[in-house]
A and B are shown apart, each in its own frame.
Chain A
Amino acid sequence: MTTTTTTTTTSTSTSTSTSTTATVVAGSAGAVEALDGAEGSLAARRTRRRRGLAPGKRLPASRLTGPALVVVVWAVASAAGQLDPGAIPAPWTVLRTSGQLWSDGTLPTDILTSLQRAGSGFALGLTAGVALALTAGLSRIGEALIDGTVQLNRAIPTLGLIPLFILWLGIGETFKIAIIAIVVYIPIYLNLYSALSGIDHRFVELAEVQGLSKLRFIREIVIPGALPGFFVGLRLGVTGSWLGLVVLEQINATSGLGYMMFQAQNYGRTDVILVGLLIYGIFGLVSDSAVRLIERRVLSWRRTLNS
């Protein structure tokens, strides 16, 4: 059996050189002789399909399957009275609470405040991250000035900067936005900078041969080549803006989702905490999907590679 498979595969690669042709012909002749008797099983072997090792086709809406299952288990356990309503309230309780919070106006205000904080911090961090990465990635002087500094900044846990920033910027909105901006800019900078400086030297040669100016080289080769790396950083930055928010809204806030959740903790309202977590989760998911969508549009040339 094994000899059959080897001969069929080798005889396809005949064209390389005369010497290999010679051995292959001799080999297959011998093998055919040996397998004369086993003709029937040989045919069976050939029609049988190989076991595929790729994971196969993706299931429809596969990303939602897991979360949906969690919700179902949660609902069933609550209905069966297996969960302490004080610790984990039932899904419908959470829904009812969010309805109440929405209609009395507190939830819309909290969401808006949180969105504003995350949005401004993200915008600031994105701008800073891109500007710094471009400067460091495209000029040696910029690299010398910026890269070491950012690497140092990265080594300091950003949340550890909170006390200092409160003293510098006051305990209002400014320091919150500044901290979120720092959480966001670091992954964006790191990924974009490494993508810019890791440009394939073969493309540098090509640009020289084609007589591209420095500006066109950057615009037509360096930047498009760095976009995949930029999107990796962007997704990390988006998630980071939500992570920073939860912590920051504990500190001298009068509204926002984090504030709402910590107030609920004081009154033992687990349902309100779950509403907050749910909304954080939804926002995180939606913003990440939005970035993915943009990525797919912008990097459409990659799709052919993945399919």
Chain B
Amino acid sequence: MATHTEQLTTEAAPTVRLRGLTRSFDGRTVLDHVDLDLPAGQLTALLGHSGSGKSTLLRAIAGLDHEVVGSGGLSAPDRVSVVFQDSRLLPWRRVLDNVLLGADGKEAAERGRAALAEVGLAGRERAWPNELSGGEAQRAALARSLVREPELLLADEPFGALDALTRIRMHGLLRELWERHRPSVLLVTHDVDEAIVLADRVLVLDQGRIGLDLAIDRPHPRSYRDPLLGEYRERLLAALGVTEDHTEDHTEDHTDDKNDKDQEVHQ
């Protein structure tokens, strides 16, 4: 898997290049000399516990952290889009105007409409954001990020606030959009399954450093039930320090489930 990454990096300059990135808040070090290359066109997921510095890293790459500059080498492209956990649509602008925030010209309006159509929101251009469901709002946010034709798409737990069914559909959409536009993607998530199903490479951030860099070499679309993905899952959980007890809990759940089904049959 290391060779895989190396191949990509030698082919072209990485989209994002971090060298010794350090960030601390009030003496507490959140990022500790992080080195990271994100090759062009790769879909990477970044996993970590809450408070592990995932969002800090993303904000630094996005240029939103105004104090991180100078603390280490950081190069990121100009055309960066960010999708936040909340859709962050301006309630006083209609959906299309939200998608076009920061974009200019007639040609931009066309791209905005096209982006909305791509995420399945054609016909909702004139709707107000508070008329949209959570999933629709997040689609609009994705459309907004596409209009800028980003070289790098940063997504900070973009599906964290959605219900399970919507989330699965959004996974499909994200993957589809990525395949069509091929930006470099960094997806921050705390959901191991989400990372495995979507990403070609999964990073685990642990104690301010990249603790594990794992290439996931399975064809798409992937299924949650793929047994080979289970191996990746276990490695990632181990890197996240999730103890064996938890996995046992999980299997117990399944047996409980079966027992209940038996009971139901008896009823």
- A203-226 vs B: 1/0 string, CB under 8 Å? 101111111100010001100110
Question: Which chain B positions have C-beta within 8 A of A220?
Answer: 90, 93, 101
Partner of B92, one of A16, A17, A19, A224: A224
**Is the beta-carbon distance between B101 and A19 smaller than 8 angstroms?**
no
B267 contacts the other chain (CB 8 A):
yes
Interchain CB contact under 8 A, B267 and A209: no
- A18 and B92 form a contact (CB under 8 A): no
Q: Which of these binds chain A: B7-15, B78-86, B227-235?
A: B78-86
Chain B residues positioned under 8 Å from A302 (CB to CB):
91
Question: Which residues of chain B come closer than 8 Å to A22, judged between CB atoms?
Answer: 253, 256-257, 259-260
In the complex the two chains form, is A18's CB within 8 Å of B257's CB? yes
The distance in angstroms between the C-alpha atoms of A268 and B180, with both chains bound, is 86
**Chain B residues near A16 (CB, 8 Å)?**
164
Pairwise interchain contact A209-B257, C-beta atoms closer than 8 A: no
In the complex, residue of chain A having the shortest beta-carbon distance to the beta carbon of B263: A29
**A19→B81 contact, CB < 8 A:** no
Q: Once A and B bind, how many residue pairs between them come within 8 Å at the CB atom?
A: 84
Please provide the chain A residues from 187 to 236 with a CB less than 8 Å away from any CB of chain B in the complex: 202-203, 205-212, 216, 220-221, 224-225, 227
- B101:A212 contact, CB within 8 angstroms: yes
Q: Is B260's CB under 8 angstroms from A203's CB?
A: no
| Chain B residues, CB < 8 A from A18 | 250, 253-254, 256-257
CA distance in complex: A120, B93 (Å): 34
Q: Report B203-244 residues with CB < 8 Å from chain A CB.
A: none
Q: Which of B48-89 contact A (CB under 8 A)?
A: 62-64, 80-82, 84, 86, 88
Residues B81 and A209 in contact, CB atoms below 8 Å apart: yes
Q: Cβ of A221 and Cβ of B90 under 8 Å apart?
A: yes
A25 within 8 A of B: yes
- How many residues on the B side are at the interface (Cβ–Cβ under 8 A)? 35
How large, as a class, is the contact surface on chain A? 20 to 34
Chain A's closest residue to B164 (CB) is A15
Which residue of A19, A210, A225, A305 is within 8 Å of B102 (Cβ)?
A: A210
Residues 101-158 of B at the A interface (beta carbon under 8 Å): 101-102, 128, 130-131, 144, 148
Is B102 a contact partner of A212 (Cβ separation < 8 A)? yes
Among B80, B86, B165, point to the contact of A209 (Cβ < 8 A): B80
Identify which of B63, B128, B254 contacts A301 (C-beta below 8 A). B128
B264 CB-CB contact with A under 8 Å: yes
Taking CB atoms, residues of chain A closer than 8 Å to B90 are 203, 206, 220-221, 224-225
Q: How far is the CB of B97 from chain A (nearest CB, A)?
A: 9
Asked if A25 meets B264 with Cβ closer than 8 Å, knowing A205-B64, A210-B102, A301-B92, the reply is: yes
Q: Are A209 and B264 CB-contacts (below 8 A) given A18-B254, A202-B84?
A: no
For B59, the closest partner residue in chain A by CB is: A205
Q: Which residue of B lies closest to A210 (CB)?
A: B102
Are A209 and B62 in contact, CB atoms less than 8 angstroms apart?
A: yes
In the complex, chain A residues whose CB is within 8 Å of the CB of B256: 18-19, 22
Asked whether A206 lies within 8 Å of B88 as measured between CB atoms, the reply is yes
Contact A225 B92 (CB under 8 A): yes
Q: A18-B253, A18-B257, A210-B102 are in contact. Are A202 and B88 (CB under 8 A)?
A: yes
A25 to B63, CA, bound (A): 49
Q: Shortest beta-carbon distance, B190 to chain A, in Å?
A: 15
Of all chain A residues, the one with the shortest Cβ separation from B250 is: A18
Q: What residues on A are CB-neighbors of B82 within 8 Å?
A: 209
Contact B64 A26 (CB under 8 A): no
Q: Which residues of B contact A301 (CB under 8 A)?
A: 91-93, 128, 130
Q: B260 touching A305 by the CB < 8 A rule?
A: no
**Given known contacts A22-B260, A224-B90, A15 and B165 CB-to-CB distance under 8 angstroms:** yes
| Distance between Cα atoms of A4 and B22 in the complex (Å) | 56
Q: In the complex, which residue of chain A has the Cβ closest to the Cβ of B145? A: A209
Complex Cα distance, B144 from A207, in Å, reads 12
Contact check: which of B130, B144, B148, B260 meets A26 at CB < 8 Å? Answer: B260
Residues of B within 8 A of A205 (CB): 64, 84, 88
Chain B residues whose CB sits within 8 angstroms of the CB of A211 once the complex forms: 102, 148
The contact string, 1 if C-beta is below 8 Å from chain B, for chain A 239-263, is 0000000000000000000000000
Pair B130/A305 contact, Cβ less than 8 Å: yes
- Closest Cβ of chain B: how far from A262's Cβ, in Å? 47
- CB neighbours of A305 from chain B (8 A): 91, 130
A sample of 15 more A-B contacts (CB under 8 A), given A18-B254, A19-B253, A299-B92, is A15-B163, A21-B257, A21-B260, A22-B257, A22-B259, A25-B261, A26-B260, A29-B264, A29-B267, A208-B63, A208-B64, A209-B62, A212-B102, A225-B92, A301-B93
A–B complex contacts, Cβ < 8 Å, 29 sampled: A15-B165, A17-B253, A18-B250, A18-B254, A18-B256, A18-B257, A19-B249, A19-B256, A22-B253, A22-B259, A25-B260, A25-B264, A26-B263, A29-B260, A202-B88, A205-B84, A207-B102, A209-B82, A210-B102, A210-B144, A211-B148, A212-B102, A216-B102, A220-B93, A221-B90, A224-B90, A301-B93, A304-B130, A305-B130
Q: Which 9 A-B pairs have the closest CB atoms?
A: A210-B102, A22-B256, A18-B253, A25-B260, A224-B92, A209-B82, A19-B253, A301-B92, A301-B128
